[in-house]
A and B are shown apart, each in its own frame.
Chain A
């Protein structure tokens, strides 16, 4: 088994790539996929630390993260479809009705 630090570093790199994607992309679906990437990076941290500490609680928590991700996928994609029906676009810069 590899050292737990190497898994944590991989997780940090994936999380940062996800952050850059969320902050720089304009397509709402790609932003959504980057959020999924960040959630997965956190899941990797949970599983690595759970194995390292010999405690199953982290892996149970990964289940709940996956559940929230599934719920988020359902609601978020429904939101995008509703927005596309209104504006014919899913660029986040077109979401400006509530802009001050």
Chain B
């Protein structure tokens, strides 16, 4: 049952990812991308990471996609089918295909091995995923978390300066 569900989600994710790259209208690409994000959120739920799924839906499908759709509508881009692709289509497809072959080869031939951590599905259900993430983030990863706030501040200032006509 779960395998069937996994296959359906995989099918939807891959079809919508292909639609992202092939749609003529950027709005359609954006909607297909939202569908892919929801499929990824489903994967996260299947991987016992419900908090990551919630963050995925809120941050990606919510915030970032709203920003992208807003920009598409703000710029009022004309859909021009004749010059959708550049002339590098063949080269790009070959490089993409080799990326796929290479990564799939490594995944199939390789063996995932590392010292196993303490996390189990039982522990996640008992303590709650959010609590585990929060505890980890505010103890072991406190410094990167604080640096993240500086990164966001720089991004805000940069966006404002770039979008202004006269500084």
Binding site for B on A (CB under 8 A): 1-2, 4-10, 12-27, 29-30, 32-34, 36-37, 40, 43-44, 47-57, 59-60, 62-64, 66-75, 77-82, 84-85, 90-93
Separation in Å of the B108 CB from the closest CB of chain A? 7
Q: Bound complex: CA of A45 vs CA of B148, how far in Å?
A: 22
The 10 closest A-B pairs by CB, nearest first: A23-B92, A55-B117, A21-B21, A20-B96, A71-B155, A16-B100, A12-B103, A78-B162, A54-B117, A54-B119
Contact pattern, B 20-63, Cβ under 8 Å of A = 1, otherwise 0: 11000010011001001100100110111100100110011001
Pick from B30, B48, B151: contact of A68, CB below 8 A.
B151
Closest residue of chain A to B152 (Cβ to Cβ) is A71
Q: Bound complex: CA of A45 vs CA of B124, how far in Å?
A: 19
Question: Given A25-B84, A74-B67, A77-B67, A17–B96 Cβ distance below 8 Å?
Answer: yes
For B91, the chain A residues whose CB sits under 8 A away are 23
Quick one: which of A32, A48, A67 has the most chain B CB within 10 A? Answer: A67
For B120, the chain A residues whose CB sits under 8 A away are 54
Quick one: which of A18, A32, A74 has the most chain B CB within 10 A? Answer: A74
Question: Given A24-B92, A26-B85, A81-B71, A74–B159 Cβ distance below 8 Å?
Answer: yes
Q: Bound complex: CA of A15 vs CA of B72, how far in Å?
A: 24
Which label, helix, strand, loop or mixed, suits the secondary structure of the A interface? helix
Asked if residues B144 and A73 are in contact (CB atoms below 8 Å), the reply is no
Closest residue of chain B to A68 (Cβ to Cβ) is B151
Question: Given A12-B100, A54-B117, A60-B136, A71–B71 Cβ distance below 8 Å?
Answer: no
Binding site for A on B (CB under 8 A): 2-3, 6, 10, 13-14, 17-18, 20-21, 26, 29-30, 33, 36-37, 40, 43-44, 46-49, 52, 55-56, 59-60, 63-64, 67-68, 71-72, 74-75, 77, 83-86, 88-89, 91-93, 95-97, 99-100, 103-104, 107-108, 112, 114, 116-121, 132-133, 136-137, 141, 144, 148, 151-152, 154-156, 158-160, 162-163, 165
Separation in Å of the B100 CB from the closest CB of chain A? 4
For A85, the chain B residues whose CB sits under 8 A away are 165
Question: Given A24-B85, A27-B26, A17–B71 Cβ distance below 8 Å?
Answer: no
Closest residue of chain B to A85 (Cβ to Cβ) is B165
Asked if residues A78 and B158 are in contact (CB atoms below 8 Å), the reply is yes
For B84, the chain A residues whose CB sits under 8 A away are 25-27
